[in-house]
Amino acid sequence: MLNNNKRKRIITIFVVLGILAGLVALWPTLRKSSSDEHDEQEPFLLSDSETLSDWEGYAHPELPFAFAYPKDLTLSTFADGEAEIVLLKGKEPEKEVQIVIRAFDESGPLTVERIQRDVPEMVIDEPQNVLIGSAQVPALLFWSEGGSAGRTREVWFIYPERSRGVQGAYLYQVTASAEMDETLAKMMETWRFE
């Protein structure tokens, strides 16, 4: 009887070791197929059912963000002093979205008071606190008015937030003409932090 129990244990041990050895041998293959699935980015979506067929994606080459924008806008990037600009322009002058990105050494989230401390002349109407993108980053959404640009929709936020334990944060100032408000809202729905 003791020999029979001992024999069953030994067989069970060998079966378990065989299964473990098989898993160890297959691990690189399982891991690769799993990471391949993550490498393929999900399509940008506006809602559960609507894909952006007339839109294309932009992923910043150095900073960890991406978004979709309408194909009828032309995208360009350039430096302006210490800031980087991502500019999206349509054929009509009122079709424009500008994203200004600059290093920022304060913690967020941004407030009306904080913005007006640096830019006291800035008009800030109907401010709202919203969450942006896949990381649900706190942002300030508001209307503004300024010079030749006329009425603009603004979305300002800091990413990554210092509260996430990162050293280098950036201030994102997204500005769109009033005519582009709906388009900007759709663009912000697609915003991802990678």
Q: What share of the chain is helix, strand, coil (3-state, %, to 5)?
A: 35, 40, 30
Q: What is the pLDDT at residue 49?
A: 40
pTM here is 0.71
Q: Where are the domains of the chain?
A: 1-40, 55-193
Confidence of residue 151 (pLDDT cuts 50, 70, 90): very high
CATH class of segment(s) 55-193: alpha beta
- 37-68 residue pLDDT tens: 333 444 444 444 445 688 999 999 988 899 99
pLDDT in tens, 60-96: 998 889 999 999 999 999 999 999 999 999 999 889 9
Q: What percent of the chain has pLDDT over 70?
A: 70
Which pLDDT does position 39 carry in this prediction? Answer: 39
Confidence at residue 21, expressed as pLDDT on a 0 to 100 scale? 47
Distances (CA, A) of 30 to 20, 40, 41, 139: 14, 16, 19, 39
